Structure 1
C-alpha cells in the first residue's frame, strides 16, 4: 500500500544552512499491516511520517501510495488523498479546534465529501461508539474531556472517511501509562475489525512490540534494522536497537538496575 524508496529530506536551519535529516530511507507498509517506526528524539522518524502526509518537502526519492506517486502531490490531490490517508498526532488537544463541538469536528470531513446531514449524524454516532465514547460527546467541547478521551476523538476523526492507512505519530506518548494501554488496545481492536493499516511512529520499543507486525529502527535519519516485530524487540541485532531495548523502563527494580549497567557498558568511551 505504501512504498517509500530512497527518501531524503533536508531541513533549513536558522543560520541559513541546510541539514539532511533523512538519508535514503526505504520502507513498506502492506494492506492491513502495522509497521512500527522507532527511534529516539531527532532520529527522523516523525519527518518520514510528515513526508508521507505531504507536510514536509522531499529532497529526493519516491513515495508511492496505492500505486500512485505522491511525494510532490499538490494541495487539491492531497485533499482527495485524505479519504484514504489519515493521521493521529501526539497532542490531542492541539489537534482539535477548542471552539468546535466534537460533533462538528467529526462531521466536517463528512460534509466535505457531500454526506447528507442524516447520514453524517449516524456516522458520528457510529464513530463515537467505536472509540468508546458516549453519544452525547458530540455536543461537548474538547476541554470537557480528559487527554485520553480527546485522543479517542482524534482517532474517530481519522477514521471518519474509512481510510486505508493511518500515520500514528507518537499517539500515546503524552498520556499516562494506564491510558496509554487503553488507547493502544483500542487502536489494535479497530485495526483488526476494519483492516486499516498503521505506520506507527514511536520512541518506545515496548509499544511497537505490542502494536506491530514489523519494525523499522531509525537512527540519525538512517534505518539500521528492520524485521519481524518479535524478533527485533527480543533479539535485536544492531547495537542501537539493543540500547533502545535496554533504555525501556520495566517494573522490576533489579532488572532496571541491570539494564542501566548494561546501557553504561555499551556507551562509547
Structure 2
C-alpha cells in the first residue's frame, strides 16, 4: 500500500532576465512513501530535494508529472481544496527560530490549527497537554513564549504543532541541520519514537547522509534534479553503488581523525578529473 506516490515529477522555475527560458530543476522524479515509513531524500544544495517536499506541500506547482496522496491526485488541486489536506499533510521546517510566531505562547501556537479545524477551546487545551508530553516538554511550556526555549526545545514545539491534527504524513525539511550534534541525535530519536507510537510517515529531507541513515527506512539520492539511487537505508548509506552517493558518503564526517583523513583523500581522488 502506498500513501504518497510521486510519478515523473517535473518542476521548472522562471529564468532570469527578459525572455529567459524556464529552468527545469526536477527532471521526472518518481518515488513513493508507504504508511508509517520514512523515506530519506538526500543530496547536496541545489539537488532538488527541498523542491520535492515543497511540491508535495503545494508550495510549488509542478510543470509535469503527478503527485497522489492516499489515492487522490493532489498536484492540481485548487487552493481551497488543498487546505483540507492540511490535516493529513504537515511540515517541520529547518529553522526552529523563525518557524514559530514569536508573539504567541506555545499553547496558542499548538491550539491554533486545532481550533481552525473545529475543536472547542477545552478540547484544544487537552490536546496541547498531550502534545507537550509527547515531545518531552513540561506542561508549563504552554504558557511560555518561543524565545524562552533553546533551539532543540523550539524544534520540539514545531514537531508538536505538526502532530496536532494527527497527520498521516509529515514533510521534514532539514529539521535538525540548525541544531548542534548532541541535540540533533535527541530530536532524531524523538521523531523515531513518535513514528512508532503514531504510525505517521515521514518524507525526510537532509543533505547529511549520517542523519538520513539514522532515521530512514529507505533512501532516495538526488543529483541535479535526477534520482540516481534508491534502496534500503543500510545499503544506500553504507555500500552505495552510484559514484555520486559514494562521494556523499566520503564527505560525511567521522569521529576518528585518521579515518577522517583517509576519507578526505579518497574524496579528493574521487573528484579528481
Fold shared per TM-score above 0.5:
yes
Question: Is 1:80 equivalent to 2:92 in the alignment?
Answer: no
Map 1:193-204 → 2, pairs under 5 A: 193-204=197-208
User: How many residues were matched structurally?
Assistant: 269
- Note the C-alpha offset of 1:14: 3.4
Query: 2:74 matched to 1:59?
Result: no
Q: Secondary structure at the match of 2:122?
A: helix
**DSSP 3-state at the match of 2:115:** helix
Which of 158, 162, 178 is equivalent to 2:162? 158
- In the other structure, the counterpart of 1:9 is 11
The offset of 1:133, in angstroms, is: 0.6
SS of match in other structure, 1:25: strand
Measure the CA separation in 2 of the matches of 1:137 and 1:14: 46
Alignment of 1:21-60 (within 5 A): 21-60=25-64
| 1:113-152 matched pairs, under 5 angstroms | 113-152=117-156
Task: Give, in angstroms, the shift of residue 208 of structure 1.
Answer: 1.0
Separation in structure 1 between the aligned mates of residue 17 and residue 197 of structure 2, nearest angstrom? 49
Gaps of 5+ in 2: none
**Map of 2:188 onto structure 1:** 184
Per-residue CA deviation, residues 191-246 of structure 1 (Å, 9 max, x unaligned), is 01110000000001111111011000000000000001001111100000000000
Q: For the residues of structure 2 that align with 1:149 and 1:73, how far apart are their CA atoms?
A: 35
The CA distance in 2 between the partners of 1:226 and 1:140, in whole Å, is 43
Per the alignment, in what secondary structure is the counterpart of residue 82 of structure 1?
helix
User: SS in structure 1 opposite 2:255?
Assistant: coil
Provide the C-alpha distance between the structure 2 equivalents of 1:12 and 1:89, rounded to a whole number of angstroms.
24
3-state SS in 2 of match to 1:73: coil
For the residue of structure 1 that corresponds to 2:24, the secondary structure is: strand
Q: CA deviation at 1:13?
A: 3.4
Alignment of 1:189-228 (within 5 A): 189-228=193-232
Q: 1:239 aligns with which of 243, 246, 255?
A: 243
- Out of 74-83 and 159-168, give the one that drifted further: 74-83
Q: Secondary structure at the match of 2:137?
A: coil
Runs of 4+ that moved beyond 4 A: none
- Measured in 2, the distance between the counterparts of 1:138 and 1:90 equals 22
The Cα of 1:268 is off from its aligned counterpart by: 3.8
Match 1:69 to one of 52, 68, 73: 73
Root-mean-square deviation (Å)? 0.8
- C-alpha distance in 1 between matches for 2:272 and 2:31: 29
- Range that drifts further, 5-14 or 184-193: 5-14
1:57 CA displacement: 1.3
